[in-house]
Structure 1
Amino acid sequence: MSFSLLSKKERQAIKEIWPLLGISLFSLWWPVFLGTLALGASIGLAAVSAWLIARASQMPPVMYLTVAVTSVRALGISKALFRYIERLVSHRIALKGVVNLRANLYEKLSGLRSDRVAGLHKGQLLGRATADVDALGDLIVRVLQPIMVAFVTAVLTCGALAFLYWPAALILLATLLFSIFGSLVLSARSNRKAVTATLLGEEKIASLTSNLLIDQAQVRALGQEEAIWAQISEVEGIHKNAINQAAKTSALGATIDNLGLALAILGCVLAGGYGVTSGTLSFVGYAVVVLTPLAAFEGTAQLPMAAAALVRSGGSAVRILELIEGPAEPESKTPLALDQTELIASDLSAAWIPGKPIFNNLSLELKPGKKIAIVGPSGIGKTTLLLCLAGMLPAEDGQLSLGGVDPWLLTDSERAKLLTLTPEDAHIFQTSVFENLRVANRDLSEEDAEKLLRQVHLGSWLDSAPAGLSTELTQGATNISGGERRRILLARALASPAPLLLLDEPAEHLDPTTADSIMRDLFSLSDRGILVVSHRLSALEDADEVIVIDKPEAGLSHAGSRDSIPATIVFRGSFEAALSDPFVSSVLEKEETHV
Structure 2
Amino acid sequence: MTMPQNPLGGTHVLNGARGFFRLAEGLRWRLALGVGLASAAALASFGLLVLSGWLLAGAAVAGLGGQAAARAFNIMLPATGVRFFALVRILARYLERVVAHDGALRLGGRLRGWVYARLAPLAPAGLTSMQGGDLLGRFVSDTDRVAAYYTDVALPFCRALLCSVVFVGVFACVLLSAALALAVGLLLGGVLVPLVVGPAMDRLVRLAAEKQSYVQVELAQTLQNMGEYLLWDGARSRTRHWHAQQAVVDGARWKLDALESAARGLIGMITFVTVLGVLVLAASACQAGQLHVAEIPMLVLGVLAAFDVAVPLPMARQAGAEARFALTRLETSSAPAPAPAPVAVVGEAHKPHAPYDLEVQGISFAYPNTITPVFQNASLTIRQGEHVALVGPSGIGKSSLINLLFGFYAPHSGCICFGGVDVSTLRAEDMAAFISVATQDFHLFAGTLRDNLLLAAPQATDQELADVLEAAQLTKFIQSLPQGLQTWVGNDGLRLSGGQARRVAVAQALLRGTPWLVLDEPTEGLDAPLEQALMAALVRRGTRTTILCMTHRQAVLPFMHRVVRVEDACFRPGGGSDMKN
1:54 aligns to 2:72 (yes or no): no
The amino acid that maps onto 1:149 is R
Query: CA, structure 1 residues 371+104, in 2 after alignment: closer, same or farther (shift >3 Å)?
Result: same
State yes or no: 1:19 paired with 2:34: no
Q: Is the contact made by 1:419 and 1:498 (CA closer than 8 Å) also made in structure 2? A: yes
How far apart are the structure 1 equivalents of 2:238 and 2:17?
34
1:166 positional shift: 1.4
Q: What is residue 555 of structure 1 aligned with on the other side? A: none
Partner of 1:499: 515
- 1:404 Cα deviation from its structure 2 partner: 4.6
1:545 aligns to 2:563 (yes or no): yes
1:530 has 2:569 as partner: no
Residue 121 of structure 1 and its aligned partner are, at CA, apart by 3.4
SS in 1 for 2:507: helix
Give the deviation of 1:539 after TM superposition: 5.1
Structure 1 distance, partners of 2:419, 2:232, is 40
Percent identical among aligned pairs is 23
Q: Which residue of 2 aligns with 1:359?
A: 374
- For residues 43 and 79 of structure 2, what CA distance do their matches in structure 1 show? 18
2:213 to 189, 203, 211: 203
Number of aligned residue pairs: 549
Assess if the C-alpha contact under 8 Å between 1:348 and 1:400 holds in 2: no
Query: Is the 2:343–2:424 Cα contact (8 Å) retained in structure 1?
Result: no
The TM-score normalised by the length of structure 2 is 0.80
Q: Which residue of 2 aligns with 1:581?
A: none
Question: Hey, what's the Cα distance between the residues in 2 that align with 1:506 and 1:186?
Answer: 63
Letter in 1 for 2:465: A
Question: Amino acid of the residue matched to residue 204 of structure 2?
Answer: A
1:157 to 160, 167, 191: 167
**Does structure 2 conserve the Cα–Cα contact (< 8 Å) formed by 1:135 and 1:313?**
yes
Q: Kindly state the Cα deviation for residue 152 of structure 1 after the two structures are TM-superposed.
A: 1.2
* Shift in Å, 1:321: 2.6
Q: Which segments of 5 or more consecutive residues in structure 1 lack a partner in the other structure?
A: 1-8, 550-566, 577-595
Q: 2:231 & 2:570 partners in 1: Cα distance?
A: 27
Q: Does the aligned pair in 2 maintain the 1:400–1:407 contact within 8 Å?
A: yes
The alignment's TM-score, normalised by the length of structure 1, stands at 0.79
Rate the CA distance shift 1:264–1:11 in 2: closer, same or farther, 3 A: farther
Aligned residue for 1:314? 324
Deviates more, 1:133-142 or 1:317-326: 317-326
Q: Output the CA distance in 2 between the equivalents of 1:537 and 1:238.
A: 54
Alpha-carbon distance in 2 for matches of 1:288, 1:182: 27
Does the 8 Å contact 2:146/2:327 carry over to 1? Answer: yes
Which residue in the other structure is 1:99 paired with?
A: 109
2-structure distance, mates of 1:286, 1:70: 20
CA contact 1:348–1:399 (8 Å) conserved in 2: no
Superposition pairs of residues 152-191 of structure 1, within 5 angstroms? 152-191=162-201
Determine whether 1:573 maps to 2:574: yes
Does the C-alpha gap of structure 1 residues 13 and 82 become closer, same or farther in structure 2, counting only changes over 3 Å?
A: closer
Aligned to 1:44: 47
Tell me, in whole angstroms, the C-alpha distance in 2 between the residues paired with 1:359 and 1:233. Answer: 42
Identify which range, 391-400 or 361-370, moves more after superposition. 361-370
**Per-residue deviation, 1:357:** 5.2
- Are 1:487 and 1:506, in contact at CA under 8 Å, matched by a contact in 2? yes
Give 1:380-529 correspondences, 5 Å limit: 383-397=399-413, 399-428=415-444, 436-437=452-453, 439-440=455-456, 445-464=461-480, 483-508=499-524, 514-515=530-531, 517-519=533-535, 521-522=537-538, 525-529=542-546
Say if 1:528 and 1:340 are closer, same or farther in 2 by CA, change over 3 A. closer
Equivalences for 1:133-144 in 2 at 5 Å? 133-144=143-154
Structure 1 match to 2:344? 331
- How far residue 269 of structure 1 moved from its aligned partner, in angstroms, is 2.5
Helix, strand or coil for the counterpart of 1:332?
Answer: coil
User: Does the Cα contact within 8 Å between 2:342 and 2:424 map onto a contact in 1?
Assistant: no
Is contact 1:10–1:315 with CA below 8 Å preserved after alignment? no
For structure 2, the residue ranges without an aligned partner over 5 or more in a row are 1-11
Match of 1:291 in 2: 301
Q: After the TM superposition, which of the residue ranges 289-298 and 527-536 deviates more from structure 2?
A: 527-536
Cα deviation, 1:311-364, whole Å, max 9, x if unaligned, reads 2112222222333342764221866343241253645323134x6456343655
Q: Aligned in 2, Cα 1:205/1:505: closer, same or farther, shift over 3 Å?
A: farther
Residue 370 of structure 1 and its aligned partner are, at CA, apart by: 2.9
- Look up the match of 1:370: 387
Q: Does the 8 Å CA contact 1:139/1:313 hold for their aligned counterparts?
A: yes
Q: Tell me the amino acid that sits aligned with residue 365 of structure 2.
A: S
1:33 is aligned to: 36
Aligned to 1:554: none
Matched to 1:135, the amino acid is R
Distance 1:176 1:10 in 2: 36
Q: CA RMSD in A?
A: 3.9
Q: For the Cα contact (< 8 Å) 1:428–1:436, is it kept in 2?
A: yes
Q: Judge conservation of contact 1:350–1:394 (CA < 8 Å) in 2.
A: no
Structure 2 equivalent of residue 131 of structure 1: 141
Whether the 8 Å contact between 1:389 and 1:400 is mirrored in structure 2 is yes
- Counterpart of 1:279 in 2: which secondary structure? coil
| Residues 420 and 502 in structure 1, CA contact (< 8 A), matched pair in contact too | yes
Out of 409-418 and 91-100, give the one that drifted further. 409-418
- Counterpart Cα distance in 1 of 2:539 and 2:290: 101
Secondary structure at 1:420 match in 2: strand
1:193 is matched with which residue? 203
Structure 1 residues 485-494 or 406-415, which shifts more? 406-415
Which range moved further: 113-122 or 29-38?
Answer: 113-122
Equivalent in the alignment of 1:556 = none
After superposition, the Cα gap between the structure-2 partners of 1:125 and 1:357, relative to the gap in structure 1 and judged at 3 Å, is farther
Distance change (3 Å), C-alpha of 1:33 and 1:414 = closer
2:233 and 2:401 mapped to 1: Cα distance?
26
Task: Rate the CA distance shift 1:130–1:380 in 2: closer, same or farther, 3 A.
Answer: farther
Q: Cα distance 1:374–1:268, how it changes in 2: closer, same or farther (>3 A)?
A: farther
Letter in 1 for 2:344: E
Q: Give, as a single letter, the amino acid of the residue that structure 1 aligns with 2:534.
A: I
Structure 1 residue identity aligned to 2:547: I
Q: CA separation in 2, counterparts of 1:383 and 1:238?
A: 42
2-structure distance, mates of 1:510, 1:73: 79
**Residue type of the partner of 1:309?**
A
- The alpha carbon displacement at 1:99 in A equals 1.9
Matched residue type, 1:545 = V
- How far residue 33 of structure 1 moved from its aligned partner, in angstroms, is 1.9
Larger CA deviation: 340-349 vs 166-175: 340-349
* Bigger shift: residues 131-140 or 51-60: 51-60
- DSSP-derived class of the 2:519 partner: strand
Report the Cα offset of residue 306 of structure 1: 0.8
